[in-house]
Structure 1
Amino acid sequence: MPDADTSDDSAPPFAEKTAAARASLRERDGALVAFSGGVDSAVVAALAHDALGDDAVACTAKSETLPAEELEDARRVAEEIGIRHEVVEFSELDNPDFVENDGDRCYHCRTMRLGRMYDAARERGIETVCDGTNASDPGEGHRPGLRAVEELEVLSPLLAHDISKEEVREIADEYGLSVAEKPSMACLSSRIPTGLEVTEERLSRVEKAERAVRQWGFSQFRVRDHDGLARIEIAREELETALDPDFVVAVRERLSDLGFDHVTLDLHGYQTGSVSPAAEADAADAASDEPLVEDVFASDYPTK
C-alpha cells in the first residue's frame, strides 16, 4: 500500500498515521518484526516491508504454546506480504516462573520470546525489533506482557502512532491481507487458570481439543483446562450451533479421549481473560482454599 496523500479528502482517516509509521521505519537500517501472523503483527510487517524492503524480516518464535495451525498461518501471511520469513525456536517451559503460572506469566513469556527475537536480530545484523502492540492494548485489562515490551525497548509502530485495533483491521483490509478480520489468538497457556502449572501435557491436550472444536466451523472460541475439566467458551453468536446434539456428543467423546474428566459449555460465551488473575480474584475472596475448578462457576468474567 503506497503512502497516502494525506491532503486528499478521500484518503482514509488512518492514512496520516500509517504514513507516519512507515516514515519512522524508514529511519531504521533494518527491522525484525516479532511475527505471530495475527492482524497486528501482519500490519507491522507490511509497513516494515514497504519502508525497508529486504531489510525487513518477519520472525516467528516456535514453542509449545504456539498451535501448529498458527505457525502455518504465519508462513502463509508472510508470503502474502512478500516479506522474508524466518522461524526460531525456544521453550517457555525452561523458565520455572512461567511454568508456575502466576499473575505475571505473560510477562515471563513475552520477556523470553522478545529476548529470542533480539538474539535473532543480532545474528542478522539488525538492531531494531518491532512488535504488534496497538493503541487499544494498554487499556484492555491485565496485560503484564506490555511491561516486557517497555523494558526491552521494543519498537511498537502501531502504539507509537496511535493506531487502534479497529484501524489496524482497516489497514490490513487496505493491504488485502487475509487476516484482516481474523479473531485474536492468545497463546495456548492462556487456557490454563492462573496458579495451575503449565505443562506440555496440558498445552498439547488444549491444542488438540481446540482443533476438534474448530473442525465444526466455530471461529471464536477457547477450551479452558481446569485441571481435567474442559470449559468450552464459544462466541455468543455461535452458541446456538454449539447446542447441536451431534456436536455435543462428538466433542464430549473427543475431549474425553484426550484425557478430560468432564466437558462443559460455558453459557456466558467466549470472553478473553476469563482465567486471568482478575477473573479469579472474586472466587479467591469467597473461598481461598477451594480447588481451581470452582472458578468455572464464578458469576462474572472480566474481559481484557
Structure 2
Amino acid sequence: MVSIEEVITSITADLAEFDGVLVAFSGGVDSSVVAALANEALGDNAIACTAKSETLPEAELEETRQIAAEIGIRHKVVEFSELDSDAFRRNDEERCYHCRTMRLSAMYDVAREQGIEIVCDGTNASDPGEGHRPGHRAVEELNAYSPLLEHEVTKAEVREIAHEFDLSVADKPSMACLSSRIPTGLEVTEERLTRIEKAEQILRTWGFEQFRVRDHDGLARIEVASDELEAALNPDFVRTAREHIADLGFDHVTLDLHGYQTGSVSPETNNARTDTSSAENSDDPVVEDVFAVEDSTGANRSQ
C-alpha cells in the first residue's frame, strides 16, 4: 500500500516537470492541497488564482487570501460575473458546466498573462462518481490538469495530505458556490444570491460548521449537519433566524430535519419541495417550519 508520504512525493515530482502552474483556488481542502503541492514543487512558479463573482461569499474570498498566505503561494484574484451568461442564469441541469467553463476560462486568461500554460484544479478520485457533476466535463474540455485525480487520490487521502502540510482547512466541510442553493429551473439572480449569502452568514455567526440555506423562491430551507440539528432548534437561534432571515425577503423559514445533504437540489436528487404536504409519503426531505409564530389573532403563520 502506497503511503501518503509517497503520494506527496509522486505528485510534487510530477508538478515539478512543469515550468509553472496556476491552481484554480477556492480555498477548499482539495484546491488548497493542490496549491500546497504546487508551491512545494515549483515555489514562485506556482500561482493560486481565485475567481471572484456573485456566487462566491465574501467570507469565502477572504478565507482564500488567508489560506494562500498560510501556504506561502502567490495569490491572484480574477473578477467576472456568471450572471452575464443567459445559460447560467437559466439554471438548468448544465448550470455547473457553464459556471466551471467560465471560471476555468478566466483562469487560463490569467495564466497566459503570467506566461503559464498549465491550469490545475482540485478534482480528486472520489469526485467523478458523486452524483450529477457536469462541471467535470468542463474540466476535461478545457484540458485542465487534475493532479489528485491523475494520482487516484481520494477525498479521505486529500485530508490526510492536508494534515501532513498542517493546513488549517484539513477538516473544513465541503462548500459549493451560492448558486447550488437554488433549485434547478429557478432563475439565478443577484437578489437570490445576495439573500442566500446573508442568510448563511447568520448561521456562520452562530457557529454552525456544515450548513446550507436553500432558496425555494419564497421559502428558505435551512440544512445543518445532523450533529448540529439540536443547536438549530435552540430557541434563541430560532428567534434570530425567524426575524433576520425573514427580513431578507423570504416568506417562510424552515428547518430540514434530514439535515445537510450534498446536492439536495441537484437534478438527480431534486426532491426538495416547497409543498411539504406529502412528505410523509415520499422520499422528500422532512421539513419542519420550526420558525412558526403566532400573530396577534392567534393564527399560526411563518416568517
TM-score using structure 1 length: 0.90
Correspondence 1:95-174 to 2 at 5 A:
95-174=85-164
Correspondence 1:179-218 to 2 at 5 A:
179-218=169-208
Give the secondary-structure state (helix, strand or coil) at the position aligned to 2:275: helix
- For structure 1, the residue ranges without an aligned partner over 5 or more in a row are 1-8, 284-291
Give the secondary-structure state (helix, strand or coil) at the position aligned to 1:179: coil
The answer for the alignment partner of 2:236 in structure 1 is 246
Aligned length, in residue pairs: 282
- For structure 2, the residue ranges without an aligned partner over 5 or more in a row are 286-303
Give the secondary-structure state (helix, strand or coil) at the position aligned to 1:293: coil
The answer for the alignment partner of 2:290 in structure 1 is none
The answer for the alignment partner of 2:293 in structure 1 is none
- Residue by residue over 1:5-41, the C-alpha shift from the partner in whole angstroms, topping out at 9 and shown as x without a partner, is xxxx9xx822222211111111101000000111100
Contact 1:220 1:270 in 2 (8 A): yes
1:257 to 247, 251, 260: 247
2:39 to 49, 61, 64: 49
1:299 to 266, 279, 283: 283
CA shift for structure 1 position 295:
7.6
- Residue by residue over 1:218-248, the C-alpha shift from the partner in whole angstroms, topping out at 9 and shown as x without a partner, is 1001000000100000110010111111111
Code of the aligned partner of 2:196:
V
CA shift for structure 1 position 300:
4.2
C-alpha separation in 1, matches of 2:284 and 2:23: 36
Give the secondary-structure state (helix, strand or coil) at the position aligned to 2:209: coil
The answer for the alignment partner of 2:73 in structure 1 is 83
Quick check: 1:237 aligned with 2:227?
Answer: yes
CA shift for structure 1 position 249:
1.1
CA RMSD of aligned residues (A): 1.5
- Residue by residue over 1:231-285, the C-alpha shift from the partner in whole angstroms, topping out at 9 and shown as x without a partner, is 00011001011111111111011011111000000001000100001122x68xx
CA shift for structure 1 position 215:
1.1
Quick check: 1:268 aligned with 2:258?
Answer: yes
C-alpha separation in 2, matches of 1:107 and 1:17: 30
Quick check: 1:29 aligned with 2:19?
Answer: yes
- Residue by residue over 1:75-116, the C-alpha shift from the partner in whole angstroms, topping out at 9 and shown as x without a partner, is 000001100001000000011000000001000000000000
TM-score using structure 2 length: 0.90
Identical amino acids, percent of aligned pairs? 70
Give the 4+ runs in structure 1 shifted more than 6 A. Answer: none
